[in-house]
Amino acid sequence: MMNTEELDRLLDKYYKSESTEEDENILRAFFSTGDIPEGYEAEKEIFSYYLASASVPEPSDDFEDRIMKGVSGFEMMPFSGKFRKSIIPFLSVAATLLILVGSYFFFVNRNETKDTFSDPKLAYAETMRILRNVSAKLNRGTSALEPVSKMNEVTVRSFETLNRSTKTIGKNLMNLEYLQKAIDIVNVPIAKNVNK
């Protein structure tokens, strides 16, 4: 019996498409047994389907060639114009009847909603389990975005620091301009007195 931590780890790898063939074989073997922990019924159904579909045989090597010969042989069959003209009305009537019957069953069955659970408590429990799974996956997805939000905070703080530095430099430049003007004012009379 596999512990739930190992099972969760293998299922997580499987759902992220990171599992190896060996991991998937372990999961298939585990879910083919009857003893499955509670909460893993959906996964049992999935892997049971895979086991059932694994028994479908592969087509033979000449399968495609036989299909192509059959199709090309059908295309070569001669149909007389009279035969075609007589069968087209019957096919049209059959297609119309098929559409009408299909539409009837579609609209009649469409209004009937069926519950998948007869016990409301069981339905509520299953809904809560699904919502918890969705919530866990969403939380896992949003936790991956935490570094992005931290980068955003660092960027904002960096711009704030740059703004403060720019303001300080601007003030110092203004002070230097005032100092330069004062020096220019003081130097003008001295220069005039020296030239006289």
**pLDDT, tens only, 170-189:** 787 787 788 788 788 877 65
Most confident of 49-58, 61-70, 114-123: 61-70
Same domain, 108 and 125: no
What pLDDT does 114 receive? 60
Say yes or no: 128 and 107 in one domain.
no
| Inside any domain, residue 76 | no
Q: Give 145 or 131, the one with higher predicted confidence.
A: 131
Residues 51 and 91 reside in one and the same domain: no
pLDDT of residue 74 exceeding 70, the answer is no
Same domain, 133 and 178: yes
Spell out the residues 6+ positions from residue 2 whose beta carbon is closer than 8 angstroms to its own: 26, 30
Whole-number pLDDT of residue 191 = 47
108 shares a domain with 51: no
Residues 107, 128 within the same domain: no
pLDDT at res. 115: 63
Same domain, 104 and 154: no
For the cut 80, the answer to whether the pLDDT of residue 90 exceeds it is yes
Please give the DSSP secondary-structure letter assigned to residue 56: S
Cβ proximity of 14 and 26 under 8 Å: no
Amino acid letter, 188:
V
What average pLDDT does range 98-109 have in this prediction?
Answer: 81
- Provide CB contacts within 8 A for 116, sequence distance 6+: 123
Residue at 64 is within a domain: no
Cα separation of 91 and 181, whole Å? 101
Q: What is the pLDDT of residues 93-103, one digit of tens each?
A: 888 989 988 88
* Residue 65 lies inside a defined structural domain of this protein: no
In a domain, 168, yes or no: yes
DSSP letters, 132-152, are HHHHHHHHHHHHTTHHHHHHH
Do the domain assignments include residue 69? Answer: no
190 in a structural domain: yes
Number of folded domains that form the chain? 3
CA 28 to chain CA centroid, nearest Å: 24
Structural domain ending residue among the three candidates 69, 89, 112: 112
87 within some domain: yes
| Region of poorest pLDDT, from 44-53, 61-70, 127-136 | 44-53
* Burial (CB count <10 Å: 0-12, 13-18, 19+), residue 14: middle
Q: Residue 60 to residues 4, 67, 73, 133: CA-CA distances in angstroms?
A: 41, 11, 20, 43
- Cα 129 to Cα 41, 42, 44, 124: the distances in Å are 12, 11, 16, 9
Give the domain extent around 141: 121-195
Q: Indicate whether 128 and 161 sit together in one domain.
A: yes
Mean pLDDT along residues 162-168: 78
pLDDT band of residue 75 (cuts 50, 70, 90) is: low
- The answer to the question of residue 16 being in a domain is yes
